[in-house]
Chains A and B, each alone.
Chain A
Amino acid sequence: MPTPANRGVETIDNIIEVKGLVKVYNGGIRAVDGISFHVERGEVFGFLGPNGAGKSTTIKVLTTLLQKTAGTASVDGLNVDSDAAAVRKIIGYASQEVSVDDDLTGRENLRLQCMFHHLHKADAEKRINEILKATGLEDAADRRAGTYSGGMRKRLDLATAIITRPKLLFLDEPTTGLDPQNRVAMWEYIQNLNKEGTTIFLTTQYMEEADRLADRLCIVDQGKIVAEGTPASLKAEIGADVIELALKENGETSARARARSMLEAVQGVQEIREVEGGVMVFAKNGPSLVPEIVRRLDSANLPIAQLSLSSPSLDDVFVKHTGRKLRVEEVKAPSRMPFGGARRRRRM
């Protein structure tokens, strides 16, 4: 949401404008396939989608790291190709792979970033102390980043991205690889940054994250935008409760199809989607339909392994548009090698 301070003062309301963006990598992989969207000044805007949806590629085009194949993209009214140098002055970027220098201390990492942004020494030192405090890294400031925990490295990486107070901050999967506790802390930190006036563009594969942080979001899949709106409006679009049914394995290959045809006849069911291991039923007044559903499957000799009833989530929105579930990986502590020499995988 635009803050009162910047509303009306700026002539350009959208800090990001993207039209028909296409990125084809050498070798023909069409990572981004003609997407258009805009980000309003002051909001938190999310890109929700699975791995390989084109989220990182989009960020890399907007942060001037990658050249697009087709389409137009502007940041704060500046063309990302021809005005790349000017774009770099106003953005901050934290990549998916944490890129802090493990041989330098936290403070040195931040100081280097200040030098790259040409901050005056006195201002820089003041700002470094502020940010160390804000990210809870004060005590570890003069230790090498290689000795930090996963959560601390992620926070230091974020600190290097925001030390110059960018107008626009790009966060590529800011909580991937964090444990639940660190994840919640990171969410709160991102929300505070936004309250202080930073526009944030973030990508995520976690629907809770998009739901909680984003004012508006796009659901992306295979290089395309499949849905766009506020989390509430996207969920309201489903307009129904979601009954998730997992069927017991009994060797029958057509079990899902049979279940589907059995349940299609139930009064009040709006839509049925076959998913891995079972079916999802979209229906108004879900609770009142549960007994009928159980009875029908029972009479058809289709034993139920699990049944859950919920109001719609962004995950359900994703299923509705793509027919697949957003596969959320287990949260694991990132594996580390001694001396901090961990090789992190490259992503497109």
Chain B
Amino acid sequence: MAARDFFVEVAGVFGRWLRKTFRRPSFVFFALVQPIVWFVLFTQSFARIADLPAFAQYSGGASYLTFFTGAVIIQTVMASAMQSGIGMVNDIESGYMDKMRVAPIHRASILLGKVMSDGVRILLQSIVIIVLGLVLGVTFATGVLGILAILVLAVAFGIAWSGISTLIALATRNAESTLMISILTTFPLLFLSTAVMPRTALPELVQNIVPYNPISYVAEAMHGLILNGFDYWTLLGQAFLVILVVGALTLTGTTMMFRKAVSS
């Protein structure tokens, strides 16, 4: 009975967040307009990157558009993950968090239902990007199986990364600060990784930073799956290991902060 109750609670919270997501006009922007802008504008302006010898060597002749698909997925996932905390802050500010806390529900349901809905949102956004890529002529070297692996990678990474935003949100309890810190961390990390450029084509200084940036490992795995599928297990294994470590840190931190927030 208790297990059934818990399931119903999580389903309730999960359903609430999904409805909220799809009823907001901003979601359509983040899910559709932003990837199109990235895909179309960015790859047009930077198409000549494909002529760089260092790039051609890495990509094996693929276009910058194809290479950039992984970057668009990562950027969108990071931006989406950063929204997670905002919802939590809004609930605290509006008093809805108190409404849930007065209800006889397990505290974990509030967090679990939210995380699950974040995962579904990220999955849908990633599917949109892949479809968009296919329409624009991107080919996926590893085929359907590779696309499934990319989706799993994107969702796992997104959930792990959303922990950072929720952590900031619970610490600051302020939507503006959460958004600001999120943007300030997303872009430097993206550009100091191998997401937008192969490692060999990056300046030396950035090349030295790359191995310490978790985004690089996710990017390497994505690029590998999209471009050639070589080194399938090593790259993918490394990426999942990094995600696991990041996820364990952020979700543990989030759970602790959340416990503190709901107990006092």
Contacts and interface: CB of A to CB of B under 8 A. Distances in A.
Contact of B93 (A103, A117, A160, A346): A346
B23 A103 contact: yes
B41 interface: no
Contact of A116 (B24, B93, B105): B105
A143 to B, nearest CB: 12
A307 interface: no
A60 B263 CA distance: 12
B95 A115 contact: no
A67 interface: yes
B48 interface: no
A100 to B, nearest CB: 8
A89 B86 CA distance: 29
Q: Is the interface of B mostly helix, strand, loop or mixed?
A: helix
A131 to B, nearest CB: 16
Nearest to B24: A103
Contacts of B259: none
| Interface-central residue, B16, B104, B105, by most chain A CB under 10 Å | B104
A99 B11 contact: no
Contact of B95 (A91, A95, A116): A95
Interface in A176-192: none
A344 B95 contact: yes
- Interface size grouping (class) on chain B: 20 to 34
- Interface size grouping (class) on chain A: 20 to 34
| Interface-central residue, A64, A93, A97, A112, by most chain B CB under 10 Å | A112
Contacts of A113: 103
A149 to B, nearest CB: 18
A91 B104 CA distance: 9
Contacts of B24: 103
Interface string B65-77: 0000000000000
A154 B216 CA distance: 50
A65 B263 CA distance: 7
A344 B20 contact: no
A116 B94 contact: no
B98 to A, nearest CB: 6
Nearest to B1: A118
Given A85-B104, A115-B12, A116-B12, A144 B23 contact: yes
Interface in A73-122: 85, 88-89, 91, 93, 95, 97-101, 103-104, 108, 112-113, 115-118
A196 B23 CA distance: 38
A344 B100 contact: no
Nearest to B25: A339
B5 A103 contact: no
A144 B93 CA distance: 20
A115 B9 contact: yes
A88 B93 contact: no
A89 B104 contact: yes
Given A103-B20, A104-B16, A88 B103 contact: yes
A99 B95 contact: yes
A98 B5 CA distance: 27
A66 B262 CA distance: 9
Given A65-B101, A95-B95, A160-B99, A118 B20 contact: no
Leading 5 A-B pairs by shortest Cβ distance? A99-B95, A115-B12, A116-B103, A88-B104, A103-B20
19 contacts: A64-B102, A65-B98, A85-B104, A91-B102, A95-B98, A97-B94, A97-B95, A99-B94, A99-B98, A100-B96, A101-B16, A104-B19, A108-B16, A113-B103, A115-B8, A117-B103, A118-B5, A344-B94, A344-B95
Interface of B: 5, 8-9, 11-12, 15-16, 19-20, 23-24, 93-96, 98-105, 263-264
Given A64-B102, A346-B95, 4 more contacts: A85-B104, A93-B102, A100-B96, A101-B20
